[in-house]
Chain A
Amino acid sequence: MFEQTDPNQIQLTEEGELKHFITTEGLSRELLTEILDTADSFVDMSAKQVKKVPLLRGKTVVNLFFEASTRTLSTFELAAKRLSADVLNLNISTSSTSKGETLKDTLMTLHAMHSDMFVVRHSSSGAAHFIAEHVTPDVAVINAGDGRHAHPTQAMLDMLTIRQAKGDFAPLTVAIVGDILHSRVARSQIHALRTLGVNEIRVIAPNTLLPRNIETLGVKVFTNMQEGIKDVDVVMMLRLQKERMNTALLPSESEFYKLYGLTMDKLRLAKPDAVVMHPGPINRGVEIASSVADGDRSLILDQVTNGIAVRMAVMSMSMSGQMKSRGNEL
């Protein structure tokens, strides 16, 4: 863990606009809605022959990935390219001992390359925050997932997908199911859902995969899937993060599937028009049955499409905030 100051002191300008995007925690409903509205404009861009806008023309975006990821990296790359930025993908393997020092050195090197934006993925919580604190002013930092802390663009693409499917957040009951303990996605989702004002948030997981004091985030906890999924509007599945499990938290994958895997039988307990989401990559037959993942209630592929639009939105908004605060200083 890195030392933390209030993230909103770092990610917002004095006027309350985004200049980095580190976490959904503490952001206002107005700002989250502005991200969704801006993303909506980018979703509609698919109707154009030229699926590209010049907002980040002449800017250099560096995808700084200290942790492997195919889907997030490729959608960030595509988002930056559709904004007309020049994109550099750097996969940097982490040395577990001297992260702080290594990071600073890396940043100095990238600073010398005149980058305008870093998209950061790191296995340590707080990495993006740390980088945002130490980059030269007017470089925007976007968090593409840091340890168990946050994955804010994933949460916002989920919010966009829910809004498209359901229209209004207020009447919804949303269940988040699976490996809550290791999930930065779940944390960012809970903060965003609360701010956007859903009626009820439930988390469903075995005790061993629930963080302590999760109730303090304003969620209802269920260890029984059948009870938890009853009458919900949205089911958000999480991936079982095998690579993050150091101890025996689960008896077996098949046992997990039996109790917490989303099958058609369990989905029938939710509302008849309930939708199913999953951040991917899917472990078929571990968290979710193929019949559900490929079924007509699944929004999994919409999530991927929306991911590009949401990333375009936060990238252009953060760069916009940077340019404005730079202008104020001149």
Chain B
Amino acid sequence: MTSNTLNAEALLGKMQQELSSLITSGTKPDPLMIGIRTGGVWLAEKLHEELNLNSPLGVLDISFHRDDFDQSGLNPKVQPSKLPCTTEGRHIILVDDVIMSGRTIRAAMNELFDFGRPASVTLVTLLDLQQRELPIQADIIGGTLAIGSNEIVKLTGPEPLALEIRNRSEG
């Protein structure tokens, strides 16, 4: 994967297949899928539809739990998390577009636990950029990619879903 665009649909397909086998294995009965805003929600919407899950989809906003409030301040576009039902005792499938440092997932877990105590949390991400700063790993990934320190990966969507490598200064 060296080109500037990556095949998001192919990565999504691989993710979906692995997730499907996990669900049919029966170890995570009646899972509750939750997407992290914004890219994670687009992916979760597709996965939720394809996998035909019973429980409605949840949306998590992590703005209130970010660890860079002291540097970056409050996200002006913060919206409330919307979970369709209780998370207490449920098997959660947490979906995000990209995992890099692991800080987003740390924040997401804090937000998630404010709603109750889930039975388990399975982390699914489209792309693993490695460069972890926290001991957090995804259970299912679409693919891995090494990028330069001045680069970021951006998921655009929701239709069509596309992954772009951009220069950090371009945002």
Contact = CB atoms under 8 A, between A and B. Distances in A.
Interface of A: 17, 34, 37-38, 40-41, 43-45, 47-50, 52-55, 316-317, 320-321, 323-324, 327
Contact of B74 (A38, A45, A52, A54): A38
B76 A34 contact: yes
Nearest to A50: B114
Contacts of A50: 113-115
A155 B72 CA distance: 28
B78 A55 contact: no
Interface stretch (B11-19, B49-57, B61-69, B155-163): B61-69
Q: Which 10 A-B pairs have the closest CB atoms?
A: A320-B73, A44-B80, A53-B64, A50-B114, A320-B74, A41-B80, A324-B73, A48-B114, A323-B70, A41-B78
Given A41-B79, A41-B80, A54-B64, A49 B116 contact: yes
B71 interface: yes
Is chain B's interface secondary structure helix, strand, loop, or mixed overall? loop
Interface in B78-99: 78-83
Given A40-B80, A45-B80, A323 B65 contact: no
A55 B64 contact: yes
Contacts of A317: 74
Interface of B: 61, 63-65, 69-74, 76, 78-83, 110, 113-116
Contacts of B110: 54
B67 to A, nearest CB: 9
A54 B80 CA distance: 15
Nearest to A43: B80
A53 B65 contact: yes
Contacts of A52: 114
B69 A49 contact: no
A229 B65 CA distance: 45
B81 to A, nearest CB: 8
A323 B73 contact: yes
Given A50-B113, A323-B69, A55 B80 contact: no
A224 B116 CA distance: 54
A254 to B, nearest CB: 46
A320 B65 CA distance: 14
A11 to B, nearest CB: 15
Contacts of A38: 74, 76, 78
B113 to A, nearest CB: 7
A321 B73 contact: yes
Given A37-B78, A41-B78, A54-B110, 18 more contacts: A37-B79, A38-B78, A40-B80, A41-B63, A41-B79, A44-B80, A47-B83, A49-B115, A49-B116, A50-B113, A50-B114, A53-B65, A54-B64, A54-B65, A55-B69, A320-B74, A323-B73, A324-B72
A322 B105 CA distance: 27
A27 to B, nearest CB: 14
A320 B78 contact: no
Contacts of B82: 44
A246 B167 CA distance: 66
Contacts of B114: 48-50, 52-53
Nearest to A42: B80
A47 B61 CA distance: 14
Contacts of A40: 80
9 contacts: A34-B76, A37-B79, A41-B79, A48-B115, A49-B114, A55-B64, A55-B69, A320-B73, A324-B73
Contact of A17 (B64, B71, B73): B73
Nearest to B70: A323
Nearest to B63: A41
Contacts of A327: 70-71
A69 to B, nearest CB: 27
Nearest to A327: B71
A57 B49 CA distance: 39
A154 B80 CA distance: 22
A60 to B, nearest CB: 14
A41 B69 contact: no
Given A53-B64, A54-B65, A323 B71 contact: yes
